[in-house]
Amino acid sequence: MADFSITRLDARQPDFDRQLDAVLAFDPASDADIHEQVAEIIAQVRRDGDAALLEYTRRFDRHDPVSAAALELPQAALEAAWNGLAPAVAAALETAAQRIRAYAEHQKMAPWSYTEADGTRLGQQVTPLDRVGLYVPGGKAAYPSSVLMNAIPAKVAGVPELVMVVPTPGGETNPLVLAAAHIAGVDRVFRVGGAQAVAALAYGTTTLPRVDKIVGPGNIYVATAKKLVFGQVGIDMIAGPSEILVISDGGTDPDWLAMDLFSQAEHDEDAQAILIATDAAYLDAVEASIRGLLPTLERAGVVKTSLSNRGALILVEDLDQAAAVANHIAPEHLELSVADPDALLGKIRNAGAIFMGRHTAEALGDYCAGPNHVLPTSGTARFSSPLGVYDFQKRSSVIFCSPQGSDTLARTASVLARGEGLTAHARSAEYRIVESAS
């Protein structure tokens, strides 16, 4: 490990902010060539529908379905995948699904209204989206936990039709993913992927129905396609590299925190794992654990690159300063590995998910604690939220004016509309003035 080093920062140094921003800086690849390819794929699918879908599937997935209809997997295939699971795996998926569902139930938005003295009623109606598309990556990056996390909130919201697309390179399906789709309540599954699947979901083909929103992770082609079809359909956030920030008071076993940092770093070489502590000797102890445990990891190469390039160990004056640094970073995952996490929680404003106390490893949240593992990355927790049931519901304002109420409101609207030079607005309001009421 002589060649391995991890950045050390000290928040009490005057130049800290600049140094921290250098550690955080990440420029996502924005490839003009990919943009052009994806735009071309979308245009083809819009023009040629199923024929384009089949052509791209043959070309990119080396998989040759006999017809567009053959792209659809029957529900029986999902059930068979579920029935074929090892009992321990089935039980674990079942537990995870039940806990994700229980948490999601708390997020459901409800309609409300209130009636004013003159009989005017104001409120908000809440309805589920009609149809949602769920993108699931194929091959080795296919995670059943991701299917549960994206599908269950949509079904809890009441979305009547949840359409999953998943590429099956070489024709091979992933039984874990299909089993997860089965218990999550996915309604239809199509074996397509890439930008062509996103385009088909956004615009519809004869075989694939058009959806109202597309969620789920994907590679750069999928992410680019989602950006390009946004507006035509809704999309979830475009995720950056995964991140963890751990705040420690020095009381947690250094091996535990080293492994928590690894669990983030093993995702990929761009993942970011940062530890903040109030004690330099404790940072040394965790670094020693990192050096000791790293060689025992199956994905040691990825972890080493990730920690060397993007990891950091940060010394702070006290937990207040730790909270200030956390709010600046606005991490996807934040572990408060301290004796009294509730005291610290009130100081945290910006974080996707907060893991409280020494026992709440972030990995528990990735799989089965209940809250969603789809979280804002790259500092976007400053202004956005975890994926939730609310992402699959929408609100409509409801306004029901009584004759008296509209009379009163029309007088105010008329003044303001004329002030803005919009006289048809004013006259439309004025028709609702009941002369006898004035």
Site for a second copy in 66-105 (CB under 8 A): 88-89, 91-93, 95-96, 103
267 is in an annotated binding site: yes
> Applying CB under 8 A, does 428 fall inside the site for a second copy?
yes
Between 11 and 294, CB nearer to a second copy = 294
Q: Which of 135, 143, 190, 221 binds a second copy (CB under 8 A)?
A: 143
Burial letters for 286-305: b for 16+ Cβ neighbours within 10 Å, e otherwise?
A: bbebbeebbeeeeeeebbbb
- Of 167 and 386, nearer to a second copy (C-beta) is 386
Residues 239 to 298: which contact a second copy by CB under 8 A? 253, 255-256, 259-260, 262-263, 265-267, 297-298
366 is in an annotated binding site: yes
Q: Which residues of 51-80 are buried (b: 16+ CB within 10 A; e: fewer)?
A: ebbbebbeebbebebeebeebbbeeebbee
Active-site residue identified among 333, 335, 362, 373: 333
Number of residues that bind a second copy (CB under 8 A): 115
Instruction: Tell me the C-alpha distance between 361 and 149, whole Å.
Output: 18
Min dist CB 389 to a second copy, Å, is 11
Beta strand residue intervals within 311-383, DSSP E:
312-315, 333-337, 353-356
- Grouping H, G, I as helix, E, B as strand and the rest as coil, residue 384 is coil
Per-residue contact flags (x/-) with a second copy for residues 199 to 228, judged by CB under 8 A: -------------xx---------------
Shortest Cβ 276–a second copy spacing (Å): 17
What does each C-alpha distance from 329 to 202, 268, 274, 292, 395 come to in angstroms? 34, 20, 10, 28, 31
Contacts of 59 by beta carbon, 8 Å cutoff, 6+ apart:
none
Task: Please enumerate in sequence order all residues whose Cβ is within 8 A of that of 207, keeping only pairs 6 or more positions apart, or say none.
Answer: 50, 53, 68, 69, 71, 72, 190
- What phi and psi, each to the nearest 5 degrees, are found at residue 274? -130, 140
Q: How far is the CB of 410 from a second copy (least distance, A)?
A: 6
Site for a second copy in 173-202 (CB under 8 A): 176
* Catalytic residue chosen out of the listed positions 332, 335, 362, 373: 332
- For a second copy, which residue of 14, 421, 436, 438 counts as binding (CB under 8 A)? 421
Least distance between a second copy and beta carbon 253 (Å): 7
Q: Is beta strand 72-73 parallel, antiparallel or unpaired with respect to 333-337? A: unpaired
Helix (H) or strand (E) holding 226: helix 220-229
Is residue 106 annotated as a catalytic residue, yes or no? no
Rank residues 315 and 344 by Cβ distance to a second copy and give the closer one: 344
DSSP letter for 230, please: B
Pair 274, 232: CB distance under 8 Å? no
Task: Answer yes or no whether residue 65 interacts with a second copy by CB under 8 A.
Answer: no
Q: How far is the CB of 42 from a second copy (least distance, A)?
A: 14
Entry field: residues in the chain: 438
Dihedral sign from CA coordinates of 250, 251, 253, 259 = negative
H helices of 158-212, in order, are 175-184, 194-203
**Residue 255 vs 279, nearer CB to a second copy:** 255
Query: Which residue, chain included where needed, has tokens 């379905």?
Result: 65
* 221 vs 256, beta carbon nearer a second copy: 256
How many C-beta atoms surround the C-beta of residue 364 within 10 A? Answer: 12
Give, as ranges, the residues between 103 and 122 that touch a second copy (CB under 8 A). 103, 106-107, 112, 114, 120-122
Considering the complex, state which of residue 22 and residue 70 has its C-beta at the smaller distance from a second copy: 22
Question: At closest approach, how far in Å is the CB of 72 from a second copy?
Answer: 24
Q: Looking at 162-170, 189-197, 199-207, 378-386, which segment touches a second copy (CB under 8 A)?
A: 378-386
**Is residue 116 among the annotated active site residues?**
no
Q: Which of 370, 435, 437, 438 binds a second copy (CB under 8 A)?
A: 370
Q: Quick check: 34 binds a second copy (CB under 8 A)?
A: no
Residues 288-347 that bind a second copy (CB under 8 A): 297-299, 303, 327, 341-342, 345
Residue 177 zone, left/alpha/beta (φ > 0; ψ -120 to 50; rest): alpha
219 assigned to a ligand binding site: yes
CA 435 to chain centre: 54
Binding site for Zn(2+): what residues are annotated? 264, 267, 366, 425
Residues with catalytic roles: 332-333
Binding site: what residues are annotated? 135, 196, 219, 242, 264, 267, 333, 366, 420, 425
